[in-house]
Amino acid sequence: MLSLKKRQSKSPGESGVHEKEFCPIEGSAFTNPTGSISGENTVELKRSITLLNGVAIIVGSVIGSGIFLTPIGVVKEAGSVGLSLIIWAVCGLFSTVGALCYAELGTTISKSGGDYAYILEVYGSLPAFLKLWIELLIIRPSSQYIVSYVFATYLLKPVFPCSPVPERVAKLIACQCILLLTAVNCWSVKAATRVQDVFTAAKLLALVLIIILGFVQIGRGGTERLWPENAFEGTRTDVGSFGLALYSGLFAYGGWNNLNLVTEEMIQPHKLLSIFLSVRLFLVGSREGHLPILLSMIHPILLTPQPSLIFTCIMTLLYALSSDIFSIINFFSFFDWLCVSTAIIGMMWLRYRRPELERPIKVNLLLPVSFVVASVFLIVVSFWKTPVECGIGFGIIATGVPVYFFGVWWKKKPSWIINGISLLTVFCQKLLNVVPQDS
């Protein structure tokens, strides 16, 4: 493993914004931009995410489409109401432990990018690139499209109360939502967080209404499934079904680590992460040289990462062409948990190798150990129940290796390749009016 190292930018230059507007391309296809602008008018992401915004990011991420869809999957695999409630409690505890571990990671390695940044610092370049590769191709865009598609389905259901929502209409509304939210994020970080706050409030209201209706049902005498003698009737006892039920529950809790993706944009991250615990992932990846330099550039006036936002939007829209997107996500569910557990193993490794690092938050060692053990169980269950899908997943992951050696490792490329990349980058810079960050 690689020891944690500090990454410093080069000394500030004396040139102004116009002299720095177009960035030269060096030997790597995914060259990391350097240099900065002196003075106060620096072009970089600002720390503008407050405590309230951070709470909204986590709550808004966790309370997404999954919370309204996965209860069916949990009950189906558990077989009984009693075991379903136990599984929900276990998933909540599991997510809380993971969030506490990520709070320590986020304050020890104060970099945006989440587990990608942590894998990069602890294990090195290739494992981090493979993590980014799958996030780029599958996990992020497909999950964002599913959220939009589910939202569109809910929105259209009152129009089609007695029949299924037409798939094409739902896809059209979903694509419009993706385009609208991309435009908001391109315009302003503040505007995007305000939208997040509004949607979080709406989802909380929906949950409150569901809870109230549940109590109303109990008041009407619908309690037969809550009595101990009936609660566990029909329980499925095989380990595989229990693991799949955990997957459904944990999907609903997914998003507890999203704040770590924007650590560099948070005001006093060590304070916010001690209270609670994307596009920014790709922004960080390009800044590290693992993605094209263009994706790390931002608008000089709006200070938003427009190239990475637009790229993610395009990748997400492509999934509207797929008719089997849920199976694609299942291919890589095991990979997500593998990366998260690998990052937490790295946290324990850093405690051993770098005890001198400042850790504003330090959790009990029992928490990361128990989290890793539980993650290994989930990964084993995934291989056991869906070996073909997991094998395909590893095959697609392996395709990132030659891409890494061509784009990142191979520094001395022919001049015609470098010139072609340079011309394309400058053209896109002019088209989008973006510049490299100053730090």
The CATH homologous superfamily of the domain defined by 50-386: Amino acid/polyamine transporter I (1.20.1740.10)
pLDDT number for residue 271 = 36
* 346: Cβ contacts below 8 Å, ≥ 6 apart: 1, 118, 119, 121, 122, 123
* 80: Cβ contacts below 8 Å, ≥ 6 apart: 231, 232, 233, 234, 235, 236
From the number of C-beta atoms within 10 Å of its C-beta (0-12, 13-18, 19+), residue 150 rates as middle
- Quote the tokens at residue 203: 């989802």
- Integer CA distances (angstroms), 174 to 144, 192, 327, in order: 10, 18, 19
Interatomic CA distance for residues 402 and 408, integer angstroms: 10
pLDDT number for residue 259 = 59
Contact, 152 vs 177, CB < 8 A? yes
Looking at residue 407, its amino acid is G
How many CA atoms does the CB half-sphere of 106 hold within 13 Å? 31
Residue 321: alpha-carbon gap to chain centroid: 22
pLDDT number for residue 26 = 46
CA angle 293, 297, 299 (to 5 degrees): 160
* 233: Cβ contacts below 8 Å, ≥ 6 apart: 80
- Quote the tokens at residue 31: 């060259």
Contact, 273 vs 103, CB < 8 A? yes
Contact, 114 vs 346, CB < 8 A? no
CA angle 168, 173, 175 (to 5 degrees): 95
The CA-based diameter of the chain, rounded to the nearest angstrom, is 77
Q: Which of 333, 324, 362, 409 is nearest to 108 (CA)?
A: 362
Interatomic CA distance for residues 381 and 371, integer angstroms: 15
Looking at residue 43, what DSSP letter applies?
-
13 DSSP β-pair partners? 37
| This model's pTM is above 0.75 | no
- Integer CA distances (angstroms), 408 to 208, 298, 411, 412, in order: 49, 22, 7, 11
How many CA atoms does the CB half-sphere of 391 hold within 13 Å? 5
Interatomic CA distance for residues 385 and 112, integer angstroms: 34
Looking at residue 10, what DSSP letter applies?
P
Q: Is 287 helix (H, G, I), strand (E, B) or coil?
A: helix
Interatomic CA distance for residues 324 and 417, integer angstroms: 37
What is the residue-level pLDDT of the chain in tens, covering all 439 positions? 444 444 344 443 443 344 444 544 444 455 444 333 334 455 555 555 566 666 666 666 677 666 777 787 888 888 888 899 999 999 999 988 988 888 888 888 877 677 788 888 889 999 999 988 888 887 778 878 888 888 888 889 889 988 888 989 999 999 999 999 899 888 887 887 788 778 778 878 888 998 899 889 888 887 777 787 788 888 888 888 888 888 888 878 877 776 555 555 444 443 333 322 255 676 678 778 888 888 888 888 888 888 888 988 998 998 888 776 666 666 667 777 888 898 899 999 988 888 888 888 888 999 999 999 998 988 888 888 778 878 877 888 899 999 999 989 988 889 999 999 899 999 999 998 988 876 5
Give domain limits for the chain.
50-386
Interatomic CA distance for residues 323 and 148, integer angstroms: 15
* Residue 8, phi then psi, degrees to nearest 5: -110, 145
